[in-house]
Structure 1
Amino acid sequence: MNKPFYINLQEHFITVSIGVALYPEHGRQIDSLNIHAEQALAEAKQLGGNTIRLYSHKASPLLNSSINLDRDLRQAIKNKELIVYYQPKISLTSKKVYGFEALIRWNHPVRGLIAPDTFLPFAEESSLISEIGYFVLLETCKQIKSWINHGFPDISVSVNIVAQQIHRGRLLTDLKEALELYNIDGHHLELEITESSLIDHSKNVEKLLEQIKKENISISLDDFGTGYSSLAYLTRYPFDTLKIDRAFVNKIGDHKDEAIITAMIAMGKAMGMNIVAEGVETIEQVNFLKHQGCDILQGFYFSKPLNALESTEFLKQHKLIAV
């Protein structure tokens, strides 16, 4: 397994990490054994990978925080501690709220509000990410229905999708169920997919995205420009939107970075895509992106992520935005 292999002349390596939990020493229930095996696997990965670890009741200090986080996160799903926040996206054409991006938060009973960067990496190492992803879909569709009932029928909300959701085989079913449950059309939803989630260039992924498009759901290439195969992805997959990463937006003012953004926008426009820029925080960034023909802006210049009530109030109070 240590030998390199090649795809399109690029060298790749695979490592194998294994976590083991034994019956009955480490548990008598399947759920308990799974949790303990996942904890052993996490330790194997944190030790550098390419190794095997047997679960121990005396966990390594390296894993103490992650074990607690994993345990608490499982309880959070049961106890409905997860909350979806919505960050507004502003259309430069209509000068109105185009829609929102759905962002998960964890209202921990002891630690308070926890940002996704803290707990999602742990969820992605287990089956929890699928449960969380489905929860976000349901909450988002529920909120869209609420906005429609409040007189905002054209709102679109983007939801982040990770590799595990793409490859486990239930994403299309989950989408259909969520839309049907709240009786809303697919055009209200957009899926944001990062380049790293598309490393598997299989025909199955292409087929899945085409099926999703048939449900009238839009697809966005998130964090564009941060990976190694951005251009290849643009032509291979049926993207409607190109989202410029905040890492580039933050450097507006630097001639070279501005040239890169200009090229990104021109390329996306030439391919018939909508262009979204995230992480917009200053009027200088707004003016530059507007001048270059960017379609939609998102960032703290307009608003922080808002809870359901706050986002509804934002819609009511910002029917026209000065940009």
Structure 2
Amino acid sequence: MAESTGLVINLTESLLVQVVNDIRRGVIALEPGFNLNLNISYAHLADGSFDTFIDTRAPVFAAQGITLVFEITERENIDLSDAIARKITHIKNSGTLIALDDFGTVFSNLAFIANLRPDSIKIDRMFIRQISQDVATPLIDCVIDMAKRMNILTTAEGVEYDYQVDYLKNNQIDCLQGYFFSRPLSFNDFIVFLNKHAV
């Protein structure tokens, strides 16, 4: 509903303002290059105000030492037009990274990689669930291998069990995400979690 009415743009802007305000409170020290991932809908990407949104927000996060990452999902019907290609270039020129979310859920994967030129791909939890202690999962191995050959980072979504962690680490996945590590947290709870697990 938010996307169809255009409210998603205001919601995204409001969310980023809250994030910046929380960080500026000074209650957390983030390492330089800390990645903040944000889902960007196609409705927002295609909107005429998107370039201004980038030019306004990217410098704010850069000044805080935070790397902004836009997650674009394959599940949306994205028109890979010249206009979108230009916006992707604008995103990258701003220092913002691009992650292709829900990778492997539709049939346009290679076209998305070629046109969106993602810095990372997030392998959908549907594939991670196929990892078991008894059965090999060569499809995931192929995705990881392809990404490494293209210098694209990989993230496994929906990691819940220790044997999934072991399998993915053994197959050189770059990042792991899921309930095995934590459920979604409020900002204050995230501070506690981050401080507890600081290296």
Q: 2:30 aligns with which of 147, 152, 155?
A: 152
Give, in whole Å, the separation in 1 of the partners of 2:62 and 2:24: 8
- The equivalences for 1:1-323 within 5 A come to 122-146=1-25, 150-154=28-32, 155-181=34-60, 184=63, 188-197=67-76, 199-253=78-132, 255=135, 258-320=137-199
Contact kept, 8 Å, 2:61 with 2:68, in 1: the verdict is no
Structure 1: state its 5+ residue gaps. Answer: 1-121
Q: Please list the CA deviations of residues 233-273 of structure 1 after superposition, one character each: whole Å capped at 9, or x if unmatched.
A: 112222100110111111212746x2111111111111001
RMSD: 2.1
Give, in whole Å, the separation in 2 of the partners of 1:132 and 1:244: 26
Letter of the aligned partner of 1:212 in structure 2? I
Q: Percent identity among equivalent residues?
A: 32
Match of 1:118 in 2: none
Q: Please list the CA deviations of residues 84-109 of structure 1 after superposition, one character each: whole Å capped at 9, or x if unmatched.
A: xxxxxxxxxxxxxxxxxxxxxxxxxx
- Structure 1 residues 145 and 214 mapped into 2: Cα distance closer, same or farther (>3 Å)? farther
- Structure 1 residues 273 and 185 mapped into 2: Cα distance closer, same or farther (>3 Å)? farther
- SS in structure 2 of the partner of residue 221 of structure 1: strand
Letter of the aligned partner of 1:159 in structure 2? L
Contact kept, 8 Å, 1:210 with 1:238, in 2: the verdict is no
Letter of the aligned partner of 1:232 in structure 2? A
- Structure 1 residues 264 and 295 mapped into 2: Cα distance closer, same or farther (>3 Å)? same
Contact kept, 8 Å, 1:209 with 1:237, in 2: the verdict is yes
The structure carrying a bigger strand percent of its residues is 1
Deviation at 1:312, TM superposition (A): 1.0
Deviation at 1:199, TM superposition (A): 2.5
Letter of the aligned partner of 1:200 in structure 2? D
- SS in structure 2 of the partner of residue 196 of structure 1: coil
Structure index of larger Rg: 1
Deviation at 1:145, TM superposition (A): 4.4
- SS in structure 2 of the partner of residue 188 of structure 1: strand
Give, in whole Å, the separation in 2 of the partners of 1:185 and 1:206: 28
- Structure 1 residues 219 and 183 mapped into 2: Cα distance closer, same or farther (>3 Å)? closer
TM-score (norm 2): 0.90
TM-score (norm 1): 0.57
- SS in structure 2 of the partner of residue 151 of structure 1: coil
Structure 2: state its 5+ residue gaps. Answer: none
Contact kept, 8 Å, 1:282 with 1:301, in 2: the verdict is yes
Give, in whole Å, the separation in 1 of the partners of 2:174 and 2:6: 36
Contact kept, 8 Å, 2:158 with 2:177, in 1: the verdict is yes
Give, in whole Å, the separation in 2 of the partners of 1:296 and 1:146: 28
Deviation at 1:185, TM superposition (A): 5.8
Deviation at 1:311, TM superposition (A): 0.8
Contact kept, 8 Å, 2:31 with 2:65, in 1: the verdict is no
Aligned length: 197
Letter of the aligned partner of 1:153 in structure 2? E
- SS in structure 2 of the partner of residue 165 of structure 1: helix
Letter of the aligned partner of 1:226 in structure 2? T
Give, in whole Å, the separation in 2 of the partners of 1:135 and 1:228: 33
Give, in whole Å, the separation in 2 of the partners of 1:251 and 1:225: 13
